[in-house]
Amino acid sequence: MQASESIAQIVYKQPSTLAAELIAYEEQYGAHNYHPLDVVIERAAGAWVVDVDGRKYLDFLAAYSAVNQGHCHPAILKAFTEQVHKVTLTSRAFRNDQLPLLLKDLHDLTGFDMALPMNSGVEAVETALKAARKWGYTVKGIPADQAEIIVLSNNFHGRTISVVGFSSEQQYRNGFGPFTPGFRHVPMGDVEALRAAITPNTCAFFFEPIQGEAGILIPPAGYLQQVEAICRENNVLLMLDEIQSGLGRTGKLFAYQHEGISPDVVVIGKALSGGYYPVSAVLSSREVLGVFAPGDHGSTFGGNPLACAVARAALKVVVDEDLSARSATLGEYALSRLQQLKSPILKEVRGKGLWLAIELHVPARPLCEALKDRGLLCKETHDTVIRLAPPLIIEEADLAWALDQIEAVIQGYAA
């Protein structure tokens, strides 16, 4: 659906009887670990989704950047369908014909020596942390069980016990301790704090080059280059979580490329499958990933033939449709328009590529609900930030229409 046939004059309010029934089932029988908007999506294509009542919405979240290629991209669907009729799972007990091709595709596209595929993003994060520690012991020579990893405050890397244990967000930690030791926090942008935190036992500095869940927080210009120099001086692995920021989202294939650095480890996921299947991977050198021997680490589904076929197609779409350049161009337009907004509730607008944040002086949830009623789906983060991340295939006319809705809701806000 294009903006020319848009829903700009239609206001969606209460869910229908069917939607209300489905919402009630979810509330009764499901754990309440999310607070979703009350729209029940039944199908989707491109940048648009349709609810169970046939009402259309423009998706401005892209499943937290998992569908950079758009919903149900036909090229990825073709690869999925063809593979699902052949073989879906062999486990890594045997070889399959898709894993080697994905590994080569990742090497050719990114330049990293090796990759280790997993499933969810946080599994790849855990894999990277294990690799960093084992590298610290076997290569750097850190005494047994003394390895330390430095992370940023306001980080978000997933929800496992280890990962929430080094989060600085109290809600992510409450009720889940005791936690895995061996992590230190430093603030984003403070290179002297990083330098001071490094000890002879530091094996890695692991962080998001742009902090997504924290509200699209972008470090000062030059920060990544300074960090790279400090890590090199101290023989510390520079490890980046590009699960949300990677694969075109910020206007480059990876966010770190905006400063031209060369990280030791990069973790990817989400858009690696274009939304069809959980696929993630750790990219690194032979020195780092070479620390794993058979039996050290594994995953029944990691590197399965269906996942690999889907990931290969998803990567091809990113390259063939030049989604990084598209994100850069459309993101510049969107940021320019949003920065022109004037309202007493606006605190800051920021972003890189088609990854944008509107920080408010008021709670963001009511504005997201108002935007949903106008046919635009986005989501709040950290209470006062509206995070915007449409599929990178979005048409400019649809993007312009969405920005019109955002402007109308912000300017029409009444405290």
Query: For position 69, what pLDDT does the model report?
Result: 98
Which of 60, 156, 207, 301 is the catalytic position? 156
If one counts the domains in the chain, the total is 2
For the segment 288-339, what is each residue's pLDDT rounded down to a tens digit?
A: 999 999 999 999 999 999 999 999 999 999 999 999 999 999 999 999 999 9
Task: Say how many C-beta atoms besides its own lie within 10 A of residue 36's C-beta.
Answer: 10
Q: Which residues of the chain have pLDDT under 70?
A: 1-11, 415
Query: For position 14, what pLDDT does the model report?
Result: 74
Query: For position 2, what pLDDT does the model report?
Result: 45
Looking at the fold, whether 129 and 31 belong to one and the same domain comes out as no
Residue ending a domain, choose from 320, 344, 362: 320
Residue 308 within a domain: yes
CA distance 318 to 388: 19
- Please count the residues of the chain: 415
For the segment 206-224, what is each residue's pLDDT rounded down to a tens digit?
A: 999 999 999 999 999 999 9
Residue ending a domain, choose from 297, 320, 343: 320
Query: For position 10, what pLDDT does the model report?
Result: 59
Which of 241, 264, 352, 398 is the catalytic position? 241
Query: For position 3, what pLDDT does the model report?
Result: 47
Q: What is the CATH number of the domain that holds 140?
A: 3.40.640.10
241 is an active site residue: yes
Looking at the fold, whether 186 and 123 belong to one and the same domain comes out as yes
Residue ending a domain, choose from 320, 335, 370: 320
Looking at the fold, whether 194 and 270 belong to one and the same domain comes out as yes
Residue 339 within a domain: no
Which of 134, 252, 270, 352 is the catalytic position? 270
Q: What share of the chain is helix, strand, coil (3-state, %, to 5)?
A: 40, 15, 45
User: What is the side-by-side strand order in the sheet with 346-351?
Assistant: 346-351, 356-360, 385-388, 379-381
Looking at the fold, whether 197 and 231 belong to one and the same domain comes out as yes
DSSP state of 217: B
For 368, the token pair is 């997201």
Looking at the fold, whether 6 and 149 belong to one and the same domain comes out as no
Looking at the fold, whether 47 and 188 belong to one and the same domain comes out as no
User: CA angle at residue 377 from 375 to 378, to 5 degrees?
Assistant: 145
Looking at the fold, whether 111 and 152 belong to one and the same domain comes out as yes
Query: For position 4, what pLDDT does the model report?
Result: 42
Looking at the fold, whether 90 and 42 belong to one and the same domain comes out as no
270 is an active site residue: yes
CA distance 143 to 203: 11
Residue 264 within a domain: yes
Residue 162: give the domain boundaries.
74-320
Looking at the fold, whether 90 and 181 belong to one and the same domain comes out as yes
For the segment 151-183, what is each residue's pLDDT rounded down to a tens digit?
A: 999 999 999 999 999 999 999 999 999 999 999
